[in-house]
Amino acid sequence: MAKPALGRGLGALLGGVPAVGNPPGAVAPAPSPSSPAEADTHERVQSVPLGRVRPCSLQPRKKFSEEALKELADSIREQGIVQPLIVRDQGEFFELIAGERRWRAAQLVGLAEVPVIVRQADDRAVLELALIENLQRENLNPIEEAHGYAQLIEQFQLTQELVATKVGKSRAVVANALRLLKLVPAIQDAIRDGLLSVGHAKVILGLPGEKQQKTAAERVMKDGLNVRQTEVLVSRIQSGGPSAKPAGAVTPLATDANVVDLENRLRERFGTKVRLKYAQGKGSVEIAFFNDDDLERILQIVGVKVD
């Protein structure tokens, strides 16, 4: 049987309740008495005052596009909220588990009430489901994603392997994401704002000091260096050579396009600097690591167990 794309997925989160189009502000009809969800009153769609719904502090997503919210608000004005919000009852208010974007758009429209499904969930389940929802919709930037994984590990004592299983990712993806949090805050902000790519960040991680990392990041953003050029820049900084040269000066020598493609794929797979030397069917692959944990991570990727 094929593995679900992302852990339990939104089917489990929504309790099997289908999305139904409704007029503005209307509530989707409750499931029929024969449906499994009807047996549990917590799974019924109900209408609650918008003012009683509050965002969740565990929500990994921190940035919401104003333009996208306005587009969603226009849709809600015409069609209503098609998919109910998922909340948990906190007594005086309902706390969002999933659907903060719809909740924010509903505020722009000025709805008095919103359709919700009330779920029973502890903090760990809330964070897991919020991560799954955002990852399925690709709503998280790389830093938000990394913080979500870190919170599961630190707050709920989960291993990287277990986190990967729960969100339907490979352990390598989770490990590579967590490495971004080792970067200085200024560089994390640049990644969050889309000024630096994850590819750039992985190369810059090869520099141990904050000052060196900042120097490299500033050069990359100032001169618009690509990942290959960033590798050359980082190598120069590591060797103590001059770093303040024009972007053209750090362009690597031209090489076979197939070799470059393979290098890029290996770099993505291992989440670190990789050099492929190839000539007439012979050569070598050089995989860089920067500490014992990094080496162990790479060994696990290739299936080598360390006793």
48 in helix, strand or coil?
Answer: strand
Annotated catalytic sites, by residue?
A: 100
Model confidence pLDDT, tens digit, residues 268-295: 788 887 888 777 677 888 888 877 777 8
Alpha-carbon torsion angle 165, 82, 93, 109, nearest 10: 130
Cβ–Cβ under 8 Å, residues 158 and 131: no
Amino acid at 50: L
| DSSP 3-state of 2 | coil
pTM score over 0.85 = no
Give CA–CA dist 280/18, Å, rounded.
58
pLDDT at 244 > cutoff 50: no
Q: Is the pLDDT of residue 26 over 70?
A: no
Task: Name residues whose C-beta falls within 8 Å of residue 167's C-beta, 6 or more positions apart in sequence.
Answer: 6, 7, 128, 131, 132, 135, 149, 174
Q: Which domains does the chain have, with CATH numbers?
A: 9-14+39-136 (3.90.1530.30), 196-253 (no CATH), 254-307 (no CATH)
Write the pLDDT tens digit of every residue in 211-221: 999 999 999 99
% of residues, the chain, pLDDT over 70? 75
Distance of CA 293 to the CA centre of its chain: 22
Identify the DSSP state of 296.
H
Distance from C-alpha of 136 to C-alpha of 131, rounded to nearest angstrom:
8
Pairing, β 53-54 against β 94-98: parallel
For residue 216, the model assigns a pLDDT of 93
Residue 103 contacts residue 51 (beta carbons within 8 Å): no
Contacts of residue 274, defined as CB under 8 A and 6 or more positions apart, other chains included, come to: 263, 266, 267, 285, 286, 287, 288
247: amino acid identity, one letter: A
pLDDT digits (tens, 9 = 90+) for 155-210: 778 888 888 887 788 888 889 999 999 999 999 999 988 899 999 999 999 888 88
pLDDT, greater one: 141 or 36:
141
